[in-house]
Amino acid sequence: MLNLGFVVRRLLQMIPTFVFILVVTFVIVRLLPGDPLSAQAGDRVTDAQVAHAQAELGLDQPMLVQFFLFVKHVLSGDLGRSYVVQIPVWRLIGQRLPPTLILTAMSTILGILIAVPLAFVAALRRDRVSDAAIRGTFQVGLSMPVFYIGLVLLTVFSAQLRWFPVGGYGDSMADHVYHLFLPSLTLAVSLAAVLMRNLRTAIIDVLNAEYVDFARAKGLMPRVIMIRHVLRNALISSVALLGPTIGTLLGGAVITESVFAIPGVGRLMIDSIYGRDYPVIQGLTLSLAVVVSLIFLATDLIQAALDPRVAQ
Amino acid sequence: MKISFKFAATSALLLGISLATLGPAEALTRGGTLVYGRYADSLFVEPVLNDGNVDIWILSNIYDTLILPTDDGKGLQPGLATAWQVAPDGMSVTVTLREGTMFSDGSPITADDVKWSLDRARDPQKGIWNFLLESVGSVDIKDPKTIVLTLKHPDPAILSALSVFNTSIMPKKQFEAAAGADDAAKAKTFSEHPVGSGPFTIQSWNHGSEMKLVKNPHYWRKGEDGQPLPYLDGVTFEVIPDDATRILKVQSGELDGAEFIPFSRVEELKADDKLDMELFPSTKVAYGNLNVRPKLKDGSDNPLSNEKVRQALNYAADKDAIIAIVTHGVGTPMSSYMSAATPMHVGSGTEFPVDVEKAKSLMKEAGFDKGISFSCLVIAGNVDEIGIATALQQMWSEIGVKLNIEQVDNATLQAKYRAGDFSMRLGYWTDDIADPNEITSYFGYSPTIQAQHSGWKNDEFDKLYEASQKELDAKKRADEYARMQEIYKNGPIVPLYESPYPVVLKKSVKGFVQIPLGNNIFSAAHIEK
């Protein structure tokens, strides 16, 4: 059962996190060398034009005044306008966040689908050839650069076999899933590798636990033991691991987004940092913080469901 | 003598010749959507306030100008104006507007729209391109089909300026009706769904991902089959930053063409019989940009202020080797600070053929035979820039020059460059106007931006530039430019190479051109069945 008190407590804990992120992002982007005008202005811009544009954007005002205005706007739901593409930040994020969210969700699902059965096989056949083969394969997958895995998948499955499109995002939900399959697989390889290793160790630990021996002694069916006792308990640490890993995926899918031409937030974040597009960096960081916090909340809730002591 | 430009007659003649050579048998295929891969998306599709090639190079598909550049980037042809005449004293230009032209929403293009657009384009408070119309004192409507530009001084480049994107004719009423408190705010709203009179109009735009252009049914130009252009129903730009993926998408048939093909892939794609690997002539030049102030920002003496040291660096740099390394042989050496495709360019071959012994003796003459050391700013992770800097580092070590390569991100680099806080950076330039005045103003004329923020100042150069901006005699103006190019041999750059625009197209794509100024022209593109 959902513990409401636990959820409310966790939601309240998020508020200081968001305030901290707002302040830190605001200050850090302004401490970076260079400024939005220098970053974007071509060779033809004169110093007077730079000063004029700076005044127009309010960048000539003291930082405290800028921060006050920024907070005032955020509280009224206005994240500002991008300095680079001139459109409202919320609209830009609205365009770019869904591809990354779908990509992350698909990668996570694929990662779990790959990792869980293989972790079981590896754990149950511990130190045998199949265990070594599974672990070895993932070790190779984990050590291969993401862009290389992506390009190999693209060359084989898209360019040669023509099973998938060469990158892009598509127009409908079904199309998105079709377009994002290979990039999800690319990301799922490393995710599955981490999950598989963690889960394998956890399963081995649980298999040695006394309550499993007890269950066996009670004469429970092996399948029931595996699902109700082994998997449930082994998953607790893996679920905890999933939160930060998905968080990394959200912000760290830049290379995959580039190779597969996915218009996601990873690329937007990098472009915005290079372009010193302050409103976009701030808006995006805040949006990602909200998404990541919600993912952490979800993993906490799953953990609490698996192990009620977590909610205490 | 009355100076008259009858480009309309010339272009009609050229059209007649091309129709005759085409023959009746070669029927053009109309329809279809061309899908084109771009390395980066446009940012702000606004003629006056934009500042980036990602916008500039596609603007002419959406907006139209009074005069159009020719495909070789050097000449002019009629656009929304059918004829123009410069007064004998050079103090005014009378422009005759084309009859019956319309914006993409079907509203007529009026003299009022033209006056408003030109007044906005020349407003010193708006954008960075108004310098191109600095000579214009007023724009007046003589009658509904005639506009008169009264000039403050004769301007030999005024007609070329009327072919530049910032003078695009925009609909005054629709712009002013856009939401926003002032011009800048209205421009932001308007440019999301712009109304122009170019061959296409924007149907949808998903920033950073895809821009869909559809045919403007009211476009005035006629195709080779006598029907209105464009031949295509639409053009879709897909944004694919990764070079390998962009190429794979063309090879797999998902794209009809793609821009910015890495030079390292040119030979391989040339060999593909399903593709046309185009190297469109360009005005692009690549160079090392030196700070020549006597003192650097940190107060230390700057050896690069010595002309002999700069000459030594130029003679010690093997441009052919750099061309081979960076452009895989596709580039050509620079013979002047401006590209060979720029009007009034003078020179041939390499401006400074490699001569290490001469470079050594120049260093000795300059009093630096014990060597010098300075840094070159390069954009972190930029393979081309790191390649050039590393090659120069090795070449210059032979004459006792220690080059430190400092990798920084673009914003940091630009801030340091603007502040004059650098010794060297690598620069690239493409012209926006079919005239040498733009590059010359930024590269050498000190009042503009201190000659690429180098601190270089040559009084004779400055005077020649000012004179050339008012010189109507083409011969005299060409002489002035020849002299400026001569003086600039002691200027603040290390000329490296010129390079074309590498574009790959499916064999079925015909009629697309990227002109030397960079503009992607899709109006006459078609896909053969």
| Continuous H helices in B23-67 | 53-59
Across the interface, do A41 and B240 touch by the CB < 8 Å criterion? Answer: no
Across the interface, do B244 and A259 touch by the CB < 8 Å criterion? Answer: yes
Q: To the nearest whole angstrom, how far is the Cα of A247 from the nearest Cα of chain B?
A: 23
For A162, which of B252, B411, B414 is closest by C-beta distance? B252
Task: Write down the domain spans for chain B.
Answer: 9-15+24-235+508-527, 282-500
Q: To the nearest whole angstrom, how far is the Cα of A276 from the nearest Cα of chain B?
A: 7
A168: which chain B residues are within 8 Å (Cβ-Cβ)? Answer: 238, 240, 249, 254
A169: which chain B residues are within 8 Å (Cβ-Cβ)? Answer: 209
- With CA atoms as reference, the chain A residue closest to B430 would be A43
Is-contact A195 A112, C-beta < 8 A? Answer: yes
> What is the three-class DSSP state of B47?
coil
User: Tokens 């050079």 sit at which residue?
Assistant: B90
Q: To the nearest whole angstrom, how far is the Cα of B447 from the nearest Cα of chain A?
A: 10
Instruction: Decide if pLDDT at A199 tops 80.
Output: yes
Q: To the nearest whole angstrom, how far is the Cα of A285 from the nearest Cα of chain B?
A: 18
User: Tokens 């697989």 sit at which residue?
Assistant: A185
DSSP-derived secondary structure letter, B493:
E
The rounded average pLDDT for each run of 10 residues, N- to C-terminus, in chain B (529 residues) is 42 42 60 96 92 92 96 90 96 97 97 98 92 96 97 97 97 96 92 95 92 97 94 96 92 95 95 97 97 95 97 96 94 96 92 94 94 95 91 96 94 90 95 95 94 96 97 97 97 97 97 96 95
For A39, which of B188, B251, B410 is closest by C-beta distance? B410
Domain B282-500 has CATH 1.10.3260.10: no
Across the interface, do B128 and A274 touch by the CB < 8 Å criterion? Answer: no
For A166, which of B206, B254, B429 is closest by C-beta distance? B254
A47: which chain B residues are within 8 Å (Cβ-Cβ)? Answer: 418, 449
Q: To the nearest whole angstrom, how far is the Cα of B432 from the nearest Cα of chain A?
A: 11
- With CA atoms as reference, the chain A residue closest to B129 would be A44
Mean residue pLDDT of chain A comes to 87
Cis ω before A165 (30° cut-off from 0):
no
Instruction: Output the DSSP codes for B96-150.
Output: EEPTT-B-TTSPBP-HHHHHHHHHHHT-TTS-S-GGGGTTEEEEEEEETTEEEEE
Separation CA B322–CA B64 (nearest Å)? 39
Which pLDDT band, with edges at 50, 70 and 90, does A311 fall under?
low
Greater model confidence, B138 or A231: B138
Instruction: Decide if pLDDT at A181 tops 90.
Output: yes
For A274, which of B188, B409, B448 is closest by C-beta distance? B409
Instruction: Mutation target for A interface from B33, B41, B42, B43: give the one with most A CBs within 10 A.
Output: B43
- With CA atoms as reference, the chain A residue closest to B192 would be A87
pLDDT at B526: 97
- With CA atoms as reference, the chain B residue closest to A40 would be B411
Separation CA B38–CA B210 (nearest Å)? 9
Domain B9-15+24-235+508-527 has CATH 3.20.20.80: no
User: What does the pLDDT look like over A2-35, one tens digit per residue?
Assistant: 678 888 888 888 889 888 988 999 999 888 888 8
Q: To the nearest whole angstrom, how far is the Cα of B518 from the nearest Cα of chain A?
A: 15
Across the A/B interface, how many CB contacts are shorter than 8 Å? 134
**B418 phi/psi in degrees, rounded to 5:** -65, -35
Across the interface, do B415 and A151 touch by the CB < 8 Å criterion? Answer: no
Strands B275-280, B76-78: pairing kind: unpaired
Instruction: Kindly list the structural domains of chain A, giving each domain's residue range(s) and its CATH number in brackets, ordered by start.
Output: 101-279 (1.10.3720.10)
Separation CA B237–CA B280 (nearest Å)? 19
pLDDT at A139: 85
For B238, which of A32, A258, A261 is closest by C-beta distance? A261
Strands B200-206, B146-151: pairing kind: unpaired
Is-contact B216 B105, C-beta < 8 A? Answer: no
Where does residue B288 rank: exposed (0-12), middle (13-18), buried (19+ CB within 10 A)?
A: buried
CB atoms within 10 A of CB B359: 26
B451: which chain A residues are within 8 Å (Cβ-Cβ)? Answer: none
Across the interface, do B254 and A50 touch by the CB < 8 Å criterion? Answer: no
Across the interface, do A39 and B209 touch by the CB < 8 Å criterion? Answer: no
A166: which chain B residues are within 8 Å (Cβ-Cβ)? Answer: 245, 248-249, 252, 254
pLDDT at B16: 42
pLDDT at B410: 87
ipTM above 0.85, yes or no: no
For A43, which of B188, B239, B429 is closest by C-beta distance? B429
pLDDT at A236: 84
A152-156 long-range contacts, CB within 8 A, separation 24+: A153/A182, A153/A185, A153/A186, A154/A182, A154/A259, A154/A260, A154/B245, A154/B248, A155/B248
Q: To the nearest whole angstrom, how far is the Cα of B416 from the nearest Cα of chain A?
A: 8
Enumerate residues 6+ apart whose C-beta is below 8 A from B199. Answer: B61, B215, B216, B219, B221, B229, B230, B522, B523
Average pLDDT over residues A201-224: 85
Task: Please give the single-letter amino acid code of residue A222.
Answer: P
Across the interface, do B414 and A92 touch by the CB < 8 Å criterion? Answer: no
